[in-house]
A and B are shown apart, each in its own frame.
Chain A
Amino acid sequence: MKIIRKNLLAGAFLLTSLAAADAHAQLESANPRVGSIVSAAPSVLTLNFSEGVEPAFSTVQVTDAAGRRADAGKPRVNGRVVLVPLRPLAPGQYTVRWRVLSVDTHTTEGSFGFEVRP
């Protein structure tokens, strides 16, 4: 698979965003935003995709800098929107790895980071 690798300098640290070039359901936006620094720890991560997502076979993992899981439970899916409940986040950098199955049977995956800095 052809991978587009984009290196983004955001704030003080380097973010890596991976997006499959032959994607079907693409990540259009996220909250916290891709590569952003947020002052308040979010309780939910929101991912907006370009196509409807099937909850089955779709996974989202959020990990802290030490690799510990920061997501709490299965993601909820509403059409193109995937909501991931989060544990209380301590200040630090977090990595989101998503792999979703779109309603037209194709899977896509990618990852991005964000930072909590009060």
Chain B
Amino acid sequence: MIGVGFAALAAARWIHFIAVMLVFGASLFPFYALPAQAHALAGLAHIRGPVRVAALIALVSGVCWAAASLASITGDPASLFDADTLWTFFFDTGFGKIWALRFLLLVAMLLAVLTAGRKLPTRNIASALSAALAALLLVSQAWIGHPAATAAGERTIVVAGYALHVLGAGAWLGGLVPLLLLLRAHSAEKNALEFALRRFSALGMLAIAMILAGGLSNAWARWDSIDGFIASAWGKVLIVKVLGFFGLFILAAVNRFVLMPRLDANGSARMRLVRNVLAEQAGGVLILFAASILGLLPPPA
């Protein structure tokens, strides 16, 4: 039963992370990657469908996550259909209230994305609203997970670090999707593409700094001894996550310092860039899998 519950929680968390980060990163993209006068870019319109689907999946996976969480608390899946238990979960626990708020945010995000129509991948209020709602969803995860259990004196720093970490990761990983669409759109203007790539790599560096600063501050709060750290399953999964991050970091550096300068010279640099962005996306999805497990394992005290 523990095995099934753990797998259900991990799967729901994984899918939820991917979906919310896609909405966040893709909605944020036009604000930094498009030239001021550009209303829209060829290829970018194709992001609408994936963002709508992601907002719907975010809602469904959010419900599944909360349901799996409640079932693991009561030890009885039937309690999901008990009104008193549901009331107690949502209104008598600290994290339940956050879940109630997150459901409102998830519905609002879905409505915002669905009603935005053709406004979505451009610089406007609809995109800003989607990005803001997704950002709140990412940050609010702090209060339904390990950061909530840190000592009162450390909690502010841990939650702030968590916010930096998830927003940096979401901007980077979510932004890779519209970036890929631009790279693959043959009609995309070369100047606009180069502008977007330059801006994305600047954002990427900021995101990496946020991921590192946030991750280090959270790991620091958990750091007791190197032996305890390595011995724990939590520590092992974290090591896998860090190695994956360095893999992405190397790919991003190759993109920025090797392939981008050659973009003019030949078409093969663009093809390699497409391949690397795809590899970064795959790596990001695997890192999020590690993150979904990390939140379920007890950190070393």
Interface set of A (CB-CB < 8 Å, partner B): 1, 22-26, 50-52, 54-57, 101-107
Contacts and interface: CB of A to CB of B under 8 A. Distances in A.
Given A57-B74, A106-B296, 16 more contacts: A1-B2, A24-B149, A25-B149, A26-B301, A54-B92, A54-B94, A56-B92, A56-B93, A56-B96, A101-B73, A103-B94, A103-B148, A104-B144, A105-B69, A105-B72, A105-B145
Among A50, A54, A57, A101, max chain B CB count under 10 A is at: A57
A23 B298 contact: yes
A104 B297 contact: no
A74 to B, nearest CB: 12
Given A54-B94, A103-B95, A104-B95, A22 B148 contact: no
Interface of B: 2, 69, 72-75, 88-89, 92-96, 144-149, 296-298, 301
Contacts of A105: 69, 72-73, 95, 144-145
Nearest to B299: A24
Contact of B149 (A22, A52, A56, A57): A52
Contacts of B144: 104-105
B93 A101 contact: yes
A84 B118 CA distance: 59
B79 to A, nearest CB: 10
A54 B149 CA distance: 11
B145 A104 contact: yes
A24 B88 contact: no
Contacts of B147: 104
A109 B296 CA distance: 16
Among A50, A52, A55, A106, max chain B CB count under 10 A is at: A106
B145 A22 contact: no
A51 B95 CA distance: 14
A26 B95 CA distance: 19
A103 B92 contact: no
Given A22-B297, A52-B149, A104-B146, A57 B94 contact: no
A57 B148 contact: no
6 contacts: A24-B149, A50-B301, A57-B74, A103-B149, A107-B72, A107-B73
A54 B298 contact: no
Contacts of A104: 95, 144-149
Nearest to A21: B298
B111 to A, nearest CB: 27
A30 B145 CA distance: 26
A56 B84 CA distance: 12
B121 to A, nearest CB: 35
A55 B94 CA distance: 10
B38 to A, nearest CB: 44
A106 B145 CA distance: 9
Contacts of B94: 54, 103
Nearest to A55: B92
Q: Which 8 A-B pairs rank lowest in CB-CB distance, beginning with the nearest?
A: A104-B149, A56-B92, A51-B149, A54-B93, A103-B148, A56-B88, A24-B298, A56-B93
